[in-house]
A and B are shown apart, each in its own frame.
Chain A
Amino acid sequence: MGFRETRAAILKAIDEGRVAHELRTVQSEKNLLAAEEISLARARQLILRARGNQAASAPHHLSPAVTVWILRPKESGVTWYIKCYLRGADLIFISFHPEEVQP
């Protein structure tokens, strides 16, 4: 699945409320969405901003069959780091946070 199809599937999962978070990253506080530091609506906006050249994919370390997507949309000078994958209709986030500010 390419970026556009994946993004559409991600947005559909958000719209249907089929969203979960890997527990290990909830604990590491790298996932602002999991702790409601940002809302799901805001997360949707940010994902919608992502362009093809701001996206990359790689296999999940526990299963090469699972494609993990990394999106880096920019907004107001801030680049976001969004890492997630789809399992069927379910969307699972690994990370959702602004990237470190560079000097």
Chain B
Amino acid sequence: MKSVYVPGHKVEAPCERCGRFVPATFRYDSFSLDDGTLVRDVMLARCDVCNSALAVAQQSAHAIKAARAAREAEGKKRTTLRLPRPLYDFAANETSKVGTAREPVSLLLKAFLATLIDDPDRIERVARRLPHVEDPVLLQPCDVSIPLYLSEGLLAVVHTLRRRAKMKSTSEVLRRVLVLAEGDRKVDRQLKMLLSCA
């Protein structure tokens, strides 16, 4: 087959330990991601001189993806968010503008929360606004229930917002965050970026 590397294929790859480009040979092997996650049975090129792992073939990308997904599934917390139907429709409209209909509320929330990571000033501004957010949509009954999976990092942002806004309900924080997402250009850009990676 021409479209995949087979064991024994030779490439020239940079070896930091040898300090130069070296001949390397592909074979099925394992390596660890930086968090220690072991990825098994990948087509890996090792240095012919010092045996360092140097390169991984594109054909093994699925194995890296699966290993990362397993790691993330362990690290994500599931929560249930209840929200008014019009607010759900708003999220669906926003995400459809950028070309997706999948998990609109989750996606919009992640986009918003991602804009707050490493931006303490923006977190402060949003936290100050949250208690004062008023919109007729927030007075509607919360008749839609969705599962929400957030990473530890995004959950930490939510908890920071809730604490600084002196609000009791995490769900109320998230509903108001969705209202604040309307017309926010940073969120639009983040949404596009998230989708570009999909």
- Residues of B contacting A22 with CB < 8 Å? 13-14, 54-55
Tell me whether A87 and B197 are in contact in the complex, defined as CB-CB below 8 angstroms, given that A22-B55, A34-B61 are known contacts.
no
- Looking across the interface, which residue of chain B has its beta carbon closest to that of A13? B58
The answer to whether A55 has its CB under 8 Å from any CB of chain B is no
20 contacts between A and B (CB under 8 A): A18-B5, A20-B55, A20-B57, A21-B57, A22-B14, A32-B197, A33-B61, A34-B61, A34-B64, A35-B61, A36-B61, A36-B65, A37-B65, A37-B197, A37-B198, A60-B14, A62-B19, A62-B20, A88-B12, A101-B190
The answer to whether B168 has its CB under 8 Å from any CB of chain A is no
Complex Cα distance A3/B196, Å?
25
Tell whether, in the assembled complex, residue B57 and residue A19 are in contact, meaning their CB atoms are under 8 Å apart. yes
- Residues of A contacting B149 with CB < 8 Å? none
Complex Cα distance A23/B51, Å?
13
The answer to whether A53 has its CB under 8 Å from any CB of chain B is no
The answer to whether B31 has its CB under 8 Å from any CB of chain A is yes
The answer to whether B132 has its CB under 8 Å from any CB of chain A is no
B contacts with A, residue count (CB < 8 A): 39
Complex Cα distance A27/B19, Å?
19
- Residues of B contacting A101 with CB < 8 Å? 186, 189-190, 193
The answer to whether B68 has its CB under 8 Å from any CB of chain A is yes
Tell whether, in the assembled complex, residue A87 and residue B64 are in contact, meaning their CB atoms are under 8 Å apart. no
Complex Cα distance A5/B4, Å?
23
Greatest chain A CB density within 10 A among B2, B21, B55 is at: B55
- Residues of A contacting B44 with CB < 8 Å? 23
Complex Cα distance A15/B119, Å?
41
- Residues of B contacting A80 with CB < 8 Å? 196
